[in-house]
Amino acid sequence: MKGQIFEVMGFVMLAIAIIAVIILLRTTSIGSFGKTILTLAERHEREGVSAGANALFSMTESKSGKSLQELVGIAAYIGNDTIDFGPSISYVDVPQEITWRLDALYGKDHWYMRVPYPKIEAAIQIIFIQDTSSSLCDDVENLRKVLPGLISDLRAAGKRVTATIYLLEGGSPCCGIGSNPSQPYVISCDKFPQSQYLRCSNIGGLQCEDKRRGDPSEDWGHGTACAIEAGPIEGWQKFSVRVVIPISDEVPEGSECGLDTGNPRCCASTPSSYVEQHNSLLRGIEVAKKNGVFAFPIKADPGSGCCPSCSNCDAKCNICVIWQGQTYHDFTQLQCQCSGLVTQYMTEMATATGGQMYDLSKGSDLASALKDVIEKVTPERTGALEAGNRAGYEIAQRTKNIRAVNFPVPVAVAGVYTTANIYEWA
């Protein structure tokens, strides 16, 4: 009986062993097949994500013709997702351009992209258009005192500011100004301590289409157009913040036009009679807008600050002028009466270009006005370019298998690199 029991048990054990071997074989085989298929599918997905990233950065945006890699690089340089390419191309919204492409390649809501922006201070290039008529001598002297120190301080604080002063041609010497008031004061570039960041030049030396008309020393409308076309002495940098600051106390081409003929027209007459002055202004605005330049005109005191009524003020508001070798103490009533129109014109230019007008005759301080300009034009930088489904990415990070691709992006203008991090999930 024992022998039979052992015999049956032996058979049962053999059967169990064989069944175990079969189960083991199948489990191992299925497990290994499953793993391999997952690995291969994963490889395909990874290659797809890399291919998508490579392809994306080579694609071009239709308006600017630039590749997405260039656009991300420019956005990283200016620290803004939207790039302004001027009036002909207009704005390019970089995340939007990335979004529709990656939605098509990876599927909507299945990806997220982040490009940290490097810390780059935007270059701010300022051009001053300086009226050189004798009534501006005190303002030029003031600019001479304020500007070099201001530029040095701003640069020491990390701001990449440069300034070019273009002096309008002509202008009479004045007196009673500067360290030696008895000597004639001639507005010239010698007044300014020039450096790599502060330069001065006479506008007459520039090659430009716009010639100054009327009184050339006061035609800051055409002068602005000419200076912008020529650019600052170091040239316009790519994607710099561009600022033009005309400084004058008269309308473009002068407020006293027609005075020599005994028939003063300009602002003292009907607007149609001073259309040329307005055209000069419009030309300045047109060129500024075309070149993406902000205008911050500074209105010097045309006498109205000293004499609001503009009449019977000669004694207290006289300007010392040297003309044809003779010294005159002069107050121009016509110029004073044009104060409102000067304000109107300067405001028109500022509004059209996104800038602001400063009225020094109303107590604005030149130094604080210039600091204010710098503050206003310094672009606000965002920390990073982001596109895609960030919320989905944060959830997928915890629950799903995410594929990540890092792509170097050159910030060509600054000579540095940043990295585009692209995440994709099923």
Partner 1 sequence: MKGQMSYILKPISLVMTIALLLFLYSSISESIAKERQASKTLNLISTSTNILLILANSEDCLAYRSPATDGLYANIVDVTKLKQMASDFKNIEPPCARNYNFGWRATVVEINQDPQTPSKIWSFGAKNFSTGPAFKNDINTSMPIAIRYSDKDVIPGNIYIYLVNGELENIAGALDWSCDLFRNGRLNATSFGIHTSFPLSYYKSTNELCSGTKQKSCRVMSCPLAIKDIKAPGDYVWTISYLQGSLVVK
3-class secondary-structure state, position 102 = helix
Residue recorded with tokens 């020039």: 194
Distance CA 150, CA 158 (A): 13
* Beta-sheet strands, E only, within 342-389: 358-359, 384-388
Computed on alpha carbons and rounded to an integer, the radius of gyration of the chain in Å comes to 35
Amino acid at 15: A
CB of 44 to partner 1, least distance (A): 4
Q: Give the DSSP H or E segment for 66.
A: none
Distance CA 289, CA 130 (A): 20
Please say which residue, 21 or 426, places its beta carbon nearer to partner 1.
21
Please say which residue, 36 or 263, places its beta carbon nearer to partner 1.
36
**Which DSSP letter does residue 241 get?**
E
Please say which residue, 64 or 202, places its beta carbon nearer to partner 1.
64
Report the number of secondary-structure helices (H) and strands (E) in the chain.
11, 15
Residues that bind partner 1 (CB under 8 A): 1, 3-4, 7-8, 10-11, 14-15, 18, 21-22, 25-26, 29, 33, 36-37, 40-41, 43-44, 47-48, 50-52, 54-56, 58-60, 62, 65-67, 100-101, 104-106
CB of 155 to partner 1, least distance (A): 37
Give the CA dihedral 337, 338, 343, 345, nearest 10 degrees: 160
Q: Are 210 and 263 in contact (CB under 8 A)?
A: no
Amino acid at 104: A
What is the DSSP pairing of strand 416-425 with strand 111-116?
Answer: antiparallel
Q: Are 161 and 197 in contact (CB under 8 A)?
A: yes
Please say which residue, 107 or 149, places its beta carbon nearer to partner 1.
107
Distance CA 168, CA 224 (A): 10
Give the CA dihedral 30, 35, 39, 42, nearest 10 degrees: 90
CB of 15 to partner 1, least distance (A): 6
Please say which residue, 107 or 340, places its beta carbon nearer to partner 1.
107
CB of 399 to partner 1, least distance (A): 25
Q: Are 53 and 72 in contact (CB under 8 A)?
A: no
Distance CA 195, CA 187 (A): 19
From the list 91, 109, 89, the residue with the least C-alpha distance to 99 is 109
Distance CA 249, CA 299 (A): 5
DSSP 151-196: HHHHHHTT-EEEEEEEEPS----BSS-SS-TTS-B---GGGS---S
CB of 303 to partner 1, least distance (A): 55
CB of 11 to partner 1, least distance (A): 5
Distance CA 329, CA 176 (A): 10
306-315 burial code (b ≥16 CB/10 A, e <16): bbeebeebee
